[in-house]
Chain A
Amino acid sequence: MDDQRLDLSSLDRHGDPVRYRQRVSALAAAALAPAPHPFLHEFMAWGRGAVAVGAILAVVTWLPVWSSVGPSQAAASGSVDQVLQVAAWAQAGAIPSDADLLALSGVPDAR
C-alpha cells in the first residue's frame, strides 16, 4: 500500500494558526448572533410593498378630488390655521377671549 503522503501544502489556505483561530472565533460569533426572524423579515418585505401600493392608491384616489376642490382650498388652509392657533394657545396656556374665538371662527371684525 502507498503510505507516502502527498505534499498538498501549497493548497492550504489556513496555514497561519492565529488567523485560523480568529476566523473560527468570528464564525462562531456570527453563528450565535441573532438573525432576523424569517417570518418578520418576510412580513417587513411585504409591508414595504403594501405601504408603497397604499401611497399610490391614496394619490390616485385624491387626485380628482384635489383638482375639483377649487374654492374650498382656501377654507381648507384656513382650518389648518385655526388648528395651529388653538394649538398655540394650548401650548402657551393662554385662555382665548370671546373676540379671539369669534375671529377664529371667521366672524369679520369680531375684535
Chain B
Amino acid sequence: MTAEPSDGDLVVRARRGDASAMETLAHRYLRASYAVALSVLRHPADAEDASQEALLTALRSLDQCRDPARFAAWLFQSVRHRALKQITHRRVRARHADEAEHGAVVEADAERVLLRQRLLSALERLTPAQREVVLLHDLEGWTHPEIAVALEISDVMSRQHLFVARRAMRDHLANPSTEDAQHG
C-alpha cells in the first residue's frame, strides 16, 4: 500500500487553502472527469471542456461537498450534470470538425481518427453506466474497487458492466454497421 492521502484528507486540506492538496485532487481527477464527461457527450473535445469546467467548479466549491470521503462521487455527479447541460444548450460541436480550433494536436494519422470514430460509435451502443466503467477502467486504468467507490456501485456490478461493455464494443468493432460506413 502507498501512503497516498485519501480524498477526504485532501478535501479538508484544500478547503483550508492548501495548494498542494488542491493540485493533488486536480491531478487525481482530471483524467477521470474526462472519462465520465466522454461517456455522456461522446465527443472528446467537448468532454475535455466539460470535465475541466466541472472540476474547476467543484474545486472552488469544496465547502459544498458534504462528505469529503465521497468526493469522487460528488465530482462525477457534477461532471455528468455539466455534460448534460452542454447537450441541452446544444453547444456540442459538429462531430467531425473542431480539432484545430481548440489547440489539439492535428492528427495526421487517418487510421487513428477512423478508429476513434468507430470507438465512439461503439460507445453509443452501451448504457451510461457501462460507458463510464469501460472508460474509467480501460482508458484511465482505474481498478474495480476504485470504480465501485466513485460510481457508488458494487465491485461485482463494475466487473459485470465492463464485461458486457467490452463484448458489445468488440462485436461492434468487428462488424461495423452500415451506419459506421457512412460516418467513416
Contact = CB atoms under 8 A, between A and B. Distances in A.
Interface in A26-84: 27-32, 35
Contacts of A12: 139
Interface stretch (B20-28, B76-84, B87-95): B20-28
Interface in B103-129: 104, 112-113, 115-116, 119-120
A25 B23 contact: yes
Interface in B39-96: 44-45, 47-48, 52, 55-56, 59-60
Task: Report which residue of A9, A14, A28, A32 has the largest number of chain B beta carbons within 10 angstroms of its beta carbon.
Answer: A28
B169 A6 contact: yes
Interface residues of B, number: 39
Contact of B23 (A1, A9, A28): A28
B17 interface: yes
Contacts of A27: 26, 30, 52, 55-56, 59
A81 B27 CA distance: 68
Interface of B: 17, 19, 22-23, 25-27, 30-31, 34, 38, 44-45, 47-48, 52, 55-56, 59-60, 104, 112-113, 115-116, 119-120, 134-135, 137-139, 159, 162-163, 166-167, 169-170
